[in-house]
Structure 1
């Protein structure tokens, strides 16, 4: 096994940014997108692949149809209508979304088309009730600067967001429709070659241009990054990796995918050396042969009436377990493919005996398959109706790796920074014209308005925040990049308070509570605003804010008033506060006698236990010090 060096493989990267737009309604209907788990409507569909205008099937759609899933949809009348249910034609294109998309295209110096043609993009994984996603190419070309690096723009599209996946149960996949139809822009960059450490900065710079418009949604799920990865010797094959949620993940994902692709080229050479060819006689039903096998996995499959099939591979001994690089092997590629069909996994000869499969089982299997130590085999357990489809896909993948090296996939980023098989890469047959929406004419006035509304450069916007609110650069950057910038501006505009304090609560306090596992989505903007109103009126202390936020984010309370009641937070009269401080000093005279003014430390701890959230820490400290000095004078 070699050590992987990314510098030796010539990696090229392209980004696809999907950004939800801040509009009051969805792209082709009047529904307001409201995130809610309250579903009053429920219906199911079965989606199938259909031919393109030229009579061709899209390979990704065909592959998805082999899973034969039933799709269950859940909807709320407030956030979806008959358009989302595909029971009514789409309405006219949302004007706000159209204007925002044109401003973004102008900001990226992209060439906007005078006519825009809505298209249908085939998607039958259930994330669209129609079996397609509506999309339109707004512009091509353009660029932006990420520091000293100039990044080219390939295309900008305006399209509908997909439904929200709720989970899977057996052959049923569940989706919520509140997000379906939300307008978003998809921005694809040209491929670029940079150091891995630069990729995050390039994605961050593009995200900041979008946020500068103040017309895009913020928060978890509102912006998603897909990344395209290719290597120098990959024959021009580009692998799209979807679902990179965090920018910090980008570097790991690109490095892993480059390693996987280069590793597959090495595996391809190994298979070519074996002269392996597949024959239909290479597969055997071994359900009866393995009926007494001690493997819990095999026995569980037999109880479910699944078939146990073995496939032999002549001269392939050692190939399934061969590790060109750490974590990269043919056995793993096959296992990912099998899991796509909802099958638990697959055993290969290079990892056996193991998992309860013993040497005696393997000897019987080798006799049946007529193979020896130089050969390899796979053991697969699956329902009878699926097993032969899965075997065909396994063989097709191994043959592709043998003859062409890297399979042309769409892959999914994992939380650990690896990638896993999602589906085959779509082809040209995936896209066809939308017949329910006429072409959209872009006027000279619209182009002129878009140019006039190009936002300030990010550096200028940060400088403006620094000067306007008298905050340091780091906090100005944090509040600008956060989802709370509009709320921050509203609080400062309407309430007399310190901008630095407000920004630190919105950026640091809430973030720290999120790191403890609490849910910031439970915080409504009006409740946060209410907190600062109460602070301004003197009804709560600064120290109360974190307590109240923590109570709401842990789902113990729904609003500020309820949280105050549950945490016993209430304002305290000055005379009552004086009395409590005097009592604490009187009860701890021994500490004051021994430690003099240093007694402020332990007494402050005692006072805060009793008064946390009821009075300012600064006021408590001053009162304690004053009373300690009096006691010392006595």
Structure 2
């Protein structure tokens, strides 16, 4: 089942939306035999293609998400909720680079410390910063925070130097508690914090050359749990246990979300009986595996007489099943393809609304009864989508907005008599004269019939 999604988070509260909570999901898993990032993208595209070719997969935002699991020997990392297949390779490359960087940093720290245990212990140094001109520090004081600092022994030069970014690893944990992050000695002085105040802090802590210093602004009530979280993170880094759940960023990087769930979290749903899949069901599924894209494209063009291009777009856009249902009813497959691929996107762009299949079928039923042309049918669907009109009200609105065949014939007759009408200007002429919409195909047909042109 889907979970409640996080909408926003602050220091004291996290807001969740319940609109997706409990929605059933289908999960497709692979064996751990994907060899590299290119292979991962290829596998994801193949799974997505099979789902799309079935015709029953939703394509809305957030309807399909990938969880990418990877390891280079320091624990499994799950990158949760990747939506763009094109970024899968970027995330894997970033994670590989991040973990290799952590390995080099920790090797440096262990060489300096001789393998001794390292932990942080924060001290309140608010008195040093109470007259600081740093906007971040001043904003923290205004919010009721205090300023805390701690030594991080033997970590100097690993928090932010070249591609070493241990500071980011610690900062992500602090952000998970709703704070903005941390300041550290590899990047100070910065953020408007005065150099003399930094020197005072270093002196107070007894900082040595190989030591790093962390500074953060936090509510007093939370400094204990934040200290515990940072120490837990440091212990994991020192033991090179990098197993965790991380979130994806749009730039192809990842960030710490939460510890990786343990096996105790994986339990059957106790309120739902186990569903045994019968041999008959399996046999049915095997016989109904979706056709490959090229085979499906060929079947659509041959059965419905639509172009290869329209067939390809119907498949890729997820409109194939809807197209089959509507085309089988309306018996004009080319008009249905145009409706789904061109007219409905135009309506959506124009009004921000989109007709559902039920509305389309109701209007097409009227269109068949009234023998409407494609132009009129499309206009009726647009009017009904935007205004909600249906039945006799929709027919009346069509009569009000669109010239009838009799009206077209009358205006053409007048135009031919006074010499102001030719085949080239027939559409703008009729539009100006009637102040109504004109069906181009119908107008040309009437004009040719009245002038004995083939």
Q: CA RMSD in A?
A: 4.4
1:572 alignment partner, one of 374, 398, 403: 403
Partner of 1:524: 356
Q: Does the C-alpha gap of structure 1 residues 358 and 559 become closer, same or farther in structure 2, counting only changes over 3 Å?
A: farther
Q: Within 2, Cα distance between the matches of 1:249 and 1:434?
A: 33
Mapped partners of 1:388, 1:610: distance in 2: 80
The 1:584/1:390 distance shift into structure 2, 3 A limit, reads farther
**2:238 is equivalent to residue 415 of structure 1:** no
Whole-Å Cα distance in 2 between the matches of residues 588 and 270 of structure 1? 93
1:124-203 equivalences in 2 (<5 Å): 160-163=1-4, 165=6, 167=8, 170-176=12-18, 179-193=20-34, 196=37, 199-203=40-44
Aligned mate of 1:370, from 178, 200, 206:
206
Match of 1:288 in 2: 127
CA distance in 1, matches of 2:102, 2:257: 17
For residues 164 and 318 of structure 1, do their structure 2 counterparts lie closer, same or farther at Cα, with a shift above 3 Å needed? closer
Q: Secondary structure at the match of 2:129?
A: coil
Equivalent position SS for 1:187:
coil
Q: Does 1:301 align with 2:134?
A: no
Task: Give matches, 1:430-469, under 5 Å.
Answer: 430-469=265-304
Of 502, 507, 525, 2:336 maps to: 502
Q: Which ranges of structure 2 fall in alignment gaps of 5 or more residues?
A: none
In the TM superposition, what is the alpha-carbon distance from 1:372 to its structure 2 partner? 5.1
2:317 corresponds in structure 1 to 482
Q: Give the TM-score, by structure 2 length.
A: 0.79
Per-residue deviation, 1:216: 4.8
Q: Which stretch has the larger CA shift, 187-196 or 385-394?
A: 187-196
* Superposed displacement of residue 258, structure 1: 2.9
Alignment TM-score, normalising by the size of structure 1: 0.59
Q: Which has the higher contact order (CA 8 A, sep 6+)?
A: 1
Alignment partner, residue 50 of structure 2: 209
Q: Distance in 1 between matches of 2:429 and 2:106?
A: 70
Structure ID, larger Rg: 2
CA apart distance, 1:581 = 8.0
Q: Is the 8 A contact 1:544 1:614 kept in 2?
A: no
Rate the CA distance shift 1:192–1:436 in 2: closer, same or farther, 3 A. Answer: closer
Mapping for residues 53-132 of structure 1, pairs under 5 Å:
none
In 2: Cα distance, 1:224 partner to 1:385 partner: 37
Aligned equivalents of 2:189 and 2:415: distance in 1? 72
Change (3 A) 1:509 1:265: farther
Q: Is the CA contact (8 Å cut-off) linking 1:540 and 1:614 kept in structure 2?
A: no
Q: Structure 1 residues 614 and 182 mapped into 2: Cα distance closer, same or farther (>3 Å)?
A: same
Question: In 2, Cα distance between the equivalents of 1:613 and 1:414?
Answer: 51
Residue ranges of structure 1 left out of the alignment (5+ in a row): 1-159, 628-634
Change (3 A) 1:361 1:164: closer
Partner residue in 1 for 2:107 = 269
* Cα distance change of structure 1 residues 471 and 523 upon mapping to structure 2, 3 Å threshold: same
User: What count of residue pairs does the alignment treat as equivalent?
Assistant: 446
Question: 1 or 2, which has the higher helix percentage?
Answer: 2
Q: Cα distance, 1:392 vs. partner?
A: 2.2
Larger fraction in strand:
1
Confirm or deny: 8 A CA contact 2:120 2:152 kept in the other structure. Answer: no
SS at match of 1:255: helix
Deviations 1:392-417 (A, max 9, x none): 2223323322331x621111222333
The DSSP-based 3-state class of the residue aligned with 2:126 is: coil
Q: In the TM superposition, what whole-angstrom CA distance separates every residue of 1:6-27 from its partner, at most 9, and x where no partner exists?
A: xxxxxxxxxxxxxxxxxxxxxx
